[in-house]
Amino acid sequence: MDKDETIFSKLIAERLGLRERQVQGTLTLLDGGATIPFIARYRKERTGALDEVQIAAIAEQNDKLKELVKRKETVVNTITEQGKMTPELEARIADCWNATELEDIYLPYKPKRRTRAQVAREQGLEPLANLLLMQRESNPAKAAERFVTPEVPTPEDALQGAQDIIAEMVSEDERSRQNIRGIFRRTAVITSKVVKAKADTDEAAKFSDYFDWSEQLRRCSSHRLLAMRRGEAEGVLRVNISVDDDECVERLQRYFVHGRGASSELVAAAVADGYKRLLSPSIENEFAASSKEQADDEAIRVFAENLRQLLLAAPLGQKRVMGIDPGFRTGCKVVCLDAQGNLLHHEAIFPHPPVRKPAEAADALAAMIERYKIEAIAIGNGTASRETKGFVEMVCAQLSPDDKGARVGLFVVSEDGASVYSASKVARDEFPDEDVTVRGAVSIGRRLMDPLAELVKIDPKSIGVGQYQHDVDQTKLKHSLDQTVESCVNSVGVNLNTASVHLLTYVSGLGPALAKNIVDYRRDNGAFISRAQLKKVPRLGPSVFEQCAGFLRISDAKNPLDNSAVHPERYALVEQMAKDQGCKVIDLIQQKDLRARVDINRYVSAEVGLPTLTDIMHELEKPGRDPREALEEFEFDSRVTSIDDLVPGMELPGIVTNITNFGAFVDIGVHQDGLVHVSQLADKYVSHPTDVVKLHQHVRVRVTEVDRRRGRISLSMKGL
């Protein structure tokens, strides 16, 4: 391990509150190409059983430190080229592991636009500036006469140039910057005012809460800060961050002003100018950027958690499903899918106005349910959803009791992102001969069967569970969401013989090219019969096999371990356990009493510790188990179909559709989600909504306020 890696391990361990050995082990695995899910699941002994969140945090800190090393190289090279590098300065840069501190060290040497101070230095006024800073001259104007030249025609001009140099020195002084940062950190206030010309416009209405807003920056929540910054970007609001300027100037003058003479007065004026013109705007910009970054990180964290809950939503499983994309004018697009999600049939029905052919629609629906042996129906939650669900319920109720259709389950499914999928290349490749409405209905049906397998085909930003997702750092957002999808896919596991290219892409160690190679191999050679067969897939070498094999399942494999999360590298260990019990591996899986007799301490070795052995025993108990919950049916209140039906005091059932820092949005069946503010989620204090609710949870809410003009519904869960 080189010097930087040793320092990295120490710094990361300190920052994250981990043991240095855990960090070293994790960094070695990451540098060797191991993925986060693989490390968390199969290398617990090397990391001290760190989870995915901790491993991701180590990876993030490692990347930041690598970037800092590159920045330090740039700083050293630039200062050296200027001929201003000293051994002391080089040592300070080498020992610096704080990005802000590094920039402070670099600031006096950083190439910049031609400033007033630079012009004054070129005019030979730096000695006069140093003379003023000593504050011993009782008559600075007289001293300035020595610096009069054709470029500096008067002593006053010379003094002004010297003050410009002092102002820049103050603004670039490390101690000055740290002190003003401290004041900003403690007392900065963020203020938002409406741009008067925009105050009465429709576009400004959504920002009305911030027309005259002010609060301490350190107390400003992520969603409020992002709302203000969006208003600013749209030209509706003016936002600024400020502190008590007098306090800042006074603090700086204490450092730089000594005495009460004429020289001291000039220095005091230069300090005030340096603060107002240079230092204050610089630190304000710094805090605007850092507060935005913190708000971004929090919004991305909330988005990622919502996405995780959505991807891990309860699946219906392999059933014959009808998917319905409801609509009024264009009718309802109906598709019938087999248990593997393949499209069998599609047609449009028109049960609603303006076409209104309910009898024909009912006959068509009943015929499809019977012909394709439909076991469940998924209805999109968009326009005409409630009306369509009511119509379908009526049709199902009239089916013969002997008919399979009588036991059809009815589910309302989120349409978010379905239109994005239906127009995408993925959908065109899957259904080149079908139009977007058919593809959208297929997506709705498949989401019911397996939300994870279907949603991985859609850009996570289009799924509709984020907050200000278009305002945050897009690179960070993509990285976080991709990591979340990868985590979810690998925690559930993937059926090697049915998974799409898109699902396989997120399996540990694979990616688009190898995922396509696996599907091509499966098409040309038939279903995989063992995990070992993966080694025959083109370009899938030993290291990739090690990363991916444990997350791929073969449901009817000869070796039962191929349908479990037990890694192939541990098959011999499980076989030895079975041999020691005088049985086969399948017996160990099927018979609880045999498993109970296994003493895992006997199998501890230098390579395998108790964490891995415990995981193996849990997996043998329920091999290939799906960690997701069972699916439940849901009914909206029949009394309400639009916002006009709502009355304060009403108690209604609802589904949580989105979670933010300030509360949870709940669909109550009126085509406009209501908000349960965090203060209304429970009878006790709630620090974060996710402590009380999760995405797609079925809840009961009370209507507290209805603002029809702004389309806002306030809800409460207190006492319910």
Q: Which tens digits make up the pLDDT trace of 642-701?
A: 899 999 999 999 999 888 888 999 999 888 899 999 999 999 999 889 889 988 889 999
Could you tell me if residue 198 is inside a domain? no
Percent of the chain exceeding pLDDT 90 equals 81
Q: Are residues 553 and 502 in the same domain?
A: yes
Could you tell me if residue 170 is inside a domain? yes
Quote the pLDDT of residue 680: 95
Give yes or no for residue 1 having a pLDDT over 90: no
Q: Mean per-residue pLDDT for 451-468?
A: 84
Quote the pLDDT of residue 696: 84
Give yes or no for residue 463 having a pLDDT over 90: no
CA distance 709 to 499: 47
Q: Are strands 552-553 and 651-660 parallel, antiparallel or unpaired?
A: unpaired
Nearest to 39 by CA among 19, 54, 17: 54
The secondary structure of 513-575 as a DSSP string is: HHHHHHHHHHHHH-S---GGGGGGSTT--HHHHHHHGGGEE-TT-SSGGGGSS--GGGHHHHH
CA distance 281 to 334: 60
Q: Are residues 143 and 281 in the same domain?
A: yes
pLDDT band at 6 (very low <50, low <70, confident <90, very high): confident
Q: Are residues 147 and 294 in the same domain?
A: yes
Quote the pLDDT of residue 629: 82
CA distance 519 to 525: 10
Percent of the chain exceeding pLDDT 70 equals 98
The secondary structure of 665-712 as a DSSP string is: EEE-SSSS-EEEEGGGS-SS--SSGGGT--TT-EEEEEEEEEETTTTE
Could you tell me if residue 55 is inside a domain? yes
Domain finish residue from 514, 535, 559:
559
Q: Are residues 555 and 575 in the same domain?
A: no
Phi, then psi, of 322 in degrees rounded to 5: -105, 130
Quote the pLDDT of residue 84: 94
Counts of helices then strands in the chain (DSSP H, E) = 31, 15
CA distance 583 to 579: 6
CA distance 513 to 537: 11
Q: Are residues 160 and 260 in the same domain?
A: yes
Q: Are residues 138 and 97 in the same domain?
A: no
Quote the pLDDT of residue 2: 61
Quote the pLDDT of residue 185: 97
pLDDT band at 406 (very low <50, low <70, confident <90, very high): very low
> In the beta sheet, which residues pair with residue 495?
553
Quote the pLDDT of residue 401: 61
* 346, containing H or E segment: strand 343-349
Q: Name the DSSP letter for residue 355.
A: T
Quote the pLDDT of residue 362: 96
What pLDDT, in 10s, does the model give residues 589-628?
999 999 999 999 999 998 899 999 999 999 999 887 888 8
What pLDDT, in 10s, does the model give residues 495-531?
999 999 999 999 999 999 999 999 999 999 999 999 9
Q: Mean per-residue pLDDT for 630-639?
A: 82
Average pLDDT, the chain: 93
Q: Are residues 175 and 299 in the same domain?
A: yes
Give yes or no for residue 305 having a pLDDT over 60: yes
Quote the pLDDT of residue 404: 44
Which of 298-307, 339-348, 629-638 is the most confident on average? 339-348
pTM: 0.86
Q: Are residues 294 and 152 in the same domain?
A: yes
Quote the pLDDT of residue 402: 55
Could you tell me if residue 22 is inside a domain? yes
Q: What is the CATH number of the domain that holds 34?
A: 1.10.10.650
Q: What is the CATH number of the domain that holds 297?
A: 1.10.3500.10
Could you tell me if residue 232 is inside a domain? no
Are the CB atoms for 466 and 303 separated by under 8 Å? Answer: yes
CA distance 203 to 206: 7
What pLDDT, in 10s, does the model give residues 547-590?
999 999 998 899 999 999 999 999 999 999 999 999 999 999 99
Give yes or no for residue 216 having a pLDDT over 90: yes
Domain finish residue from 542, 559, 576:
559
Domain count, the chain: 6
- For 365, how many CA atoms within 13 A lie in the half-sphere containing its CB? 30
Are the CB atoms for 697 and 712 separated by under 8 Å? Answer: no
Q: Are residues 322 and 410 in the same domain?
A: yes
Q: Are residues 104 and 59 in the same domain?
A: yes
Quote the pLDDT of residue 405: 39
Are the CB atoms for 239 and 192 separated by under 8 Å? Answer: yes
Label residues 513-524 b or e (16+ Cβ within 10 Å = b): ebbebbeebbee
What pLDDT, in 10s, does the model give residues 277-300?
999 999 999 999 999 999 999 999
What pLDDT, in 10s, does the model give residues 350-398?
999 999 999 999 999 999 999 999 999 999 988 999 899 999 999 998 8
Give yes or no for residue 304 having a pLDDT over 80: yes
Indicate the SS3 state at residue 321: strand
Could you tell me if residue 82 is inside a domain? yes
Are the CB atoms for 392 and 425 separated by under 8 Å? Answer: no
Domain that holds residue 650: 643-716
Q: What is the CATH number of the domain that holds 522?
A: 1.10.150.310
CA distance 91 to 76: 10
Q: Are residues 270 and 404 in the same domain?
A: no
CA distance 498 to 514: 16
Taken in order 176, 181, 187, 188, the sign of the CA dihedral is positive
Q: Are residues 604 and 649 in the same domain?
A: no
Indicate the SS3 state at residue 182: helix
Could you tell me if residue 205 is inside a domain? no
CA distance 84 to 89: 9
Nearest to 37 by CA among 452, 490, 625: 490
CA distance 549 to 707: 54
Which amino acid is located at 700 in the chain? Answer: R
Domain finish residue from 445, 462, 477:
445
Could you tell me if residue 584 is inside a domain? yes
Are the CB atoms for 291 and 220 separated by under 8 Å? Answer: yes
What pLDDT, in 10s, does the model give residues 218-274?
999 999 999 999 999 999 999 999 999 999 999 999 999 998 899 999 999 999 999
pLDDT band at 469 (very low <50, low <70, confident <90, very high): confident
Which amino acid is located at 599 in the chain? Answer: D
Quote the pLDDT of residue 468: 77
